[in-house]
Amino acid sequence: MKSIEIKNKKAKFDYEWLDTYTAGLQLLGTEVKSIRMGKASIMEAYCYLKENELFIKNMNVAEWSHGNIFNHDPIRERKLLLGKKEIEKIDKATKDQGITIIPTKLFINEKGWVKLNIAVAKGKKNYDKRQSLKEKDAKRDLARLKRF
């Protein structure tokens, strides 16, 4: 079985991660089959708290190709499965201004369960993004020099 890893590549660039968590997802059968085929996207997705439960919105899981009329809705809200204490920590952290919850990576663990890494994050300003690009370029230049 090949490993599935769907990443939100812009998350590290656009946000400064304060804390990370690994959550399970409440999915339908056809959604799991689509994710196993790699047909999902978390680029536009975000998480929010509602009545002490955590949900993900705008996560796109393509309809299963062999599905019938009972196929799932591709962009429905999905419940994230976390412990009570973890949800309370996230709730406390998001009370501050400018703090949000973003999905960073969707993967299948060694037991075959679909998991989602989420980060409590603060949005970066433009000058922070420029600084990140400078650091990335410097690392790349160092790697080139070490190769020769």
Question: Which CATH number does the domain housing residue 120 bear?
Answer: 2.40.280.10
Structure tokens at 12: 């590290």
- Predicted local distance difference test score (pLDDT) of residue 2: 65
Residues across the chain: 148
The count of domains in the chain is: 1
> pLDDT band for position 31 (50/70/90)?
confident
Whole-angstrom distance, CA of residue 78 vs CA of residue 118? 14
**Which residue carries 């689509």 as its tokens?**
34
What is the pLDDT averaged over residues 121-135? 83
Rg, Å, the chain Cα set: 18
Q: Report the candidate in 67, 84, 72 with the shortest Cα–Cα distance to residue 28.
A: 72
What pTM does this model have? 0.79
Cβ atoms of 78 and 27 closer than 8 Å? yes
Domain residues for 104?
5-147
Is 120's pLDDT higher than 90? yes
pLDDT at 28: 83
The whole-number pLDDT of residue 97 equals 83
- Residue written as token pair 């420029």: 130
CA angle, residues 62, 64, 69, in degrees to nearest 5: 110
Please name which of 20, 22, 86 lies closest in space to residue 49, comparing C-alpha atoms. 86
The pLDDT score that the predictor gives to residue 37 is: 87
- pLDDT of residue 130 exceeding 90: no
